[in-house]
Amino acid sequence: MSEAGERGGDMLGWQTLLYKEILRFWKVGFQTVAAPVLTAILYLLIFGHVLEDHVKVYGTVSYTAFLVPGLVMMSVLQNAFANSSSSLVQSKIMGSLVFVLLTPLSHWHWFVAYVGSSIVRGLAVGTGVFLVTAWFAKLSFVAPGWILVFAVLGAAMLGTLGLIAGLWADKFDQMAAFQNFLIMPMTFLSGVFYSIHSLPAFWQGVSHLNPFFYMIDGFRYGFFGVSDVSPWLSLAIVGGALVVVSAIAVHLLRIGYKIRG
Amino acid sequence: MPAISFQSVSKTYSSAKGPFKALDGVSFDIGQGEFFGLLGPNGAGKTTLISILAGLSRANAGRVTVMGHDVQADYAQARRQLGVVPQELVFDPFFSVREALRIQSGYFGVKNNGAWIDELLESLGLADKAGANMRQLSGGMKRRVLVAQALVHKPPVIVLDEPTAGVDVELRQTLWQFIAKLNKQGHTVLLTTHYLEEAEALCSRVAMLKQGRVVALERTSELLKAASSNVLRFKLDGELPAALAAQARVTGRIVQFPAHDAGEIEQYLAAVREAGLHAEDVEIRKADLEDVFLDVMGAKA
């Protein structure tokens, strides 16, 4: 790792913050990358084993094959969120955020660096989960472009939400509440483990109000060329939601919400 | 152009007990190249003022500039001119000393800064700790790294907020030699400290804050001259009577009285004798900054 540290010298300010945030999770990669990959494998083994013979999705897709993109996206989203939120809360509590607060970096620089590093972490974990789980299922790649677009947009969205949560939370338990009562339910109810077409009409309607549903649905479209809604609709909704949360995050950074008294 | 200019700076915090005025119209300038001391008891507003200067906090009213750059409107330029050593012993546990310095340098967009980083490590006695993780360092070593981090972008204005609190004597000496050298090279230094002998030895000018207001702003030598009195100092073998204690500064067994002439000295010693007490190690010394400070703060009243 010391070699990686050698490079911290000749970059622009925002690039340094991005690099620092990536280095931060990479240095504890066992916990930030390897652990979520293992979690995803456990989900796949257990749910795939229980449901493989009972469920076919879109008529032709095996349950395990259906599950793999869902698990990959879930890992991308959860880890993107965890990255910016835990970094901010931790450095607020430890006081080391002062090193960044004292710099000439603008609110836009902060935004790009914190969300950018969350995207990198999300994609790193997502790639790990994909490489391991892909062994268990026969996957197709109908539209790789959509796969990449939704992975990046989803990670950006959750990285931004993590940034907002990290600014807001003063303690680790507030952070955990945000994660457990908002992020986890929205991810689990977004169709990671099922197609919403298998739900009663009422719950299908409810699922359509969950922006996370569109991320996973669009992502899955890239693999199978089939989805619950059109990928263009998903793109519009996810893109729109990202613009809204980004505007909030940049505003909070600009006014120094809870970080500049 | 002053290095630092505070212009009618006010700051009010809302607390459970109602609004608390931490700063109330603070105005003064610090010239380029000055070694300036900011003194005051806890809660006087020193750290609040420095936080506003550093952009960690925002004033409700007034204006602060660093080398002519407004700390709010032109914060990026203002912060480039400023190196701040924070009061708290904070560190980033993920990085080694050298990584922490390279990263801090990178935030300011400084290129090819390796030689200066090496020089900082050397000057602050950190060279053999360069590869050590921040977590492994002692408190004194962490303090040195904080100083190095503040200086890594070669700021013309250096702010040290209680840099020697809880620091051993050796480091204090190393630190002051280094800061004094930087000051000689033209850096402006703003120092807050509880150790008034440090301020007296180092600062050419001081401001004293009390309850958010400037109550003294003077050259250190002028302040000492104005406090023309001498101090009678002795050790006592018992409790000083309350009437006398009110006029004295008592630290454990050591008692100190401001004394303008021989008559006053006689009176104090007589009063001690009449109280049935015995004074030892009697000496008369010149008033120092601490005496002035206590005078100004009205601590004896």
| Averaged pLDDT, B174-197 | 90
Contact yes or no for B77 and A23 at CB 8 A: no
- Smallest Cβ–Cβ distance between B111 and the set A10, A104, A256 belongs to A10
Tell whether the model's pLDDT for residue B166 goes beyond 80.
no
pLDDT in tens, A197-252: 888 888 888 889 999 999 999 999 999 999 889 999 999 999 999 999 999 999 99
Examine the pLDDT at A1 and tell me if it is beyond 50. no
Select from A148, A137, A1 the least CA-distant residue to A73: A148
pLDDT band at B228 (very low <50, low <70, confident <90, very high): low
Q: What is the mean pLDDT of residues A108-125?
A: 98
Contact A127, A69 (CB under 8 A): no
Partners of residue A106 in chain B, C-beta under 8 Å: 76
Angle (CA) B2-B5-B6 rounded to 5° is 165
**Residues near A127 by beta carbon (within 8 Å), at least 6 away in sequence:** none
pLDDT of residue A75: 94
Q: How far is CA B261 from CA A60, B287, B296, in A?
A: 105, 13, 21
* Residues of chain B with C-beta less than 8 angstroms from the C-beta of A20: 103, 106
pLDDT, mean over chain B: 90
What is the per-residue pLDDT for B220? 87
Q: Is A37 helix (H, G, I), strand (E, B) or coil?
A: helix
Residue A23 in contact with partner chain B when CB distance is under 8 A: yes
Q: Give contacts of A 197-256 with B, CB under 8 A.
A: 256
With CA atoms as reference, report the closest residue to B77 among B65, B63, B60.
B65
Q: What are phi and psi of B2, to 5 degrees?
A: -70, 155
Q: Are A118 and A155 in contact (CB under 8 A)?
A: yes
- A51: Cα separation from own chain's centroid: 26
Q: How many CB atoms lie within 10 A of CB B160?
A: 23
pLDDT value at B28 more than 80: yes
Domains of chain B, first to last:
4-224 (3.40.50.300), 228-297 (3.30.70)
Beta bridge partners of A113: none
Residue whose entry in the numeric block shows the structure tokens 């801090």: B104
Which residues are paired to B83 by β-bridges? B158
Q: Hey, is A11 helix, strand or coil?
A: coil
**Distance (Å, whole) CA B208 – CA B52:** 17
Over residues A121-159, the pLDDT tens digits come to 999 999 999 999 988 888 889 999 999 999 999 999 999
B88 CB neighbour count, 10 Å cutoff? 14
pLDDT > 70: what percent of chain B? Answer: 98
DSSP string, B129-190: GTTSBGGGS-HHHHHHHHHHHHHTT--SEEEEESTTTT--HHHHHHHHHHHHHHHHTT-EEE
CB-CB contact of B223 with B291 (8 Å): no
pLDDT band at A7 (very low <50, low <70, confident <90, very high): very low
B263-290 average pLDDT score? 87
pLDDT at B111: 86
Q: Taking the mean position of all CA atoms in its chain, how far away is CA B240?
A: 32
Q: Are A150 and A141 in contact (CB under 8 A)?
A: no
Instruction: Choose among A19, A98, A256: nearest Cβ to B90.
Output: A98
Say whether B114 and A9 touch across the interface (CB within 8 A).
Answer: yes
Q: What is the pLDDT, as a whole number, of residue A10?
A: 66
The nearest CA of chain B is from the CA of A54 a distance in Å of 47
Contacts of A19 in chain B (CB under 8 A): 103, 106
- What tokens appear for B38 in the block? 């900011």
- Residue A191's pLDDT is what? 87
Q: Which helix (H) or strand (E) holds B284?
A: strand B279-286
Distance of alpha carbon A64 from alpha carbon A86, whole angstroms: 32
Phi, psi of B193 (to 5 degrees): -155, 155
Question: What backbone torsions phi and psi does residue A33 show, to the nearest 5 degrees?
Answer: -120, -55
Q: Is the predicted pLDDT of residue A8 greater than 70, yes or no?
A: no
Instruction: Find where tokens 């710099």 sit.
Output: A103
Q: Cβ separation of B96 and A10 shorter than 8 Å?
A: no
Greatest distance between any 2 Cα atoms in chain B: 73
- Which residues does A78 contact at the CB level (< 8 Å), separation at least 6? A36, A158, A183, A184, A187
For residues B295 and B301, give the distance between their C-alpha atoms in angstroms, rounded to a whole number.
9
φ, ψ (nearest 5 deg) of residue B64 = -130, 135
Count of helices and strands (H, E) across chain B: 11, 14
Compute the average pLDDT of residues B174-203. 90
Of B96, B107, B111, the CB nearest to A17: B107
Q: Shortest CB distance from A8 goes to which of B90, B106, B108?
A: B106
Cβ atoms of A61 and A224 within 8 Å: the answer is: yes
Query: Is the model's pLDDT at B172 over the cut of 50?
Result: yes
Task: Count CA atoms within 13 Å of residue A182 on its CB side.
Answer: 13
Cβ-defined contact of A261 to B51 (cutoff 8 Å): yes
Contact present, B230 and B41 (Cβ < 8 Å) = no
Q: Is B69 helix (H, G, I), strand (E, B) or coil?
A: strand
The pLDDT value recorded for residue B95 is 94
Q: What is the pLDDT of residues A49-66, one digit of tens each?
A: 887 777 777 777 888 888
Query: Cβ of A2 under 8 Å from any chain B Cβ?
Result: yes
Mean pLDDT of B225-233: 78
Q: Are B189 and B179 in contact (CB under 8 A)?
A: yes
Fill in the amino acid letter for A192: V
A183-207 tens-digit pLDDT: 999 998 898 888 888 888 888 888 8
Higher pLDDT, B76 or B298: B76
At residue A4 the predicted structure's pLDDT band, cuts being 50, 70 and 90, is: very low
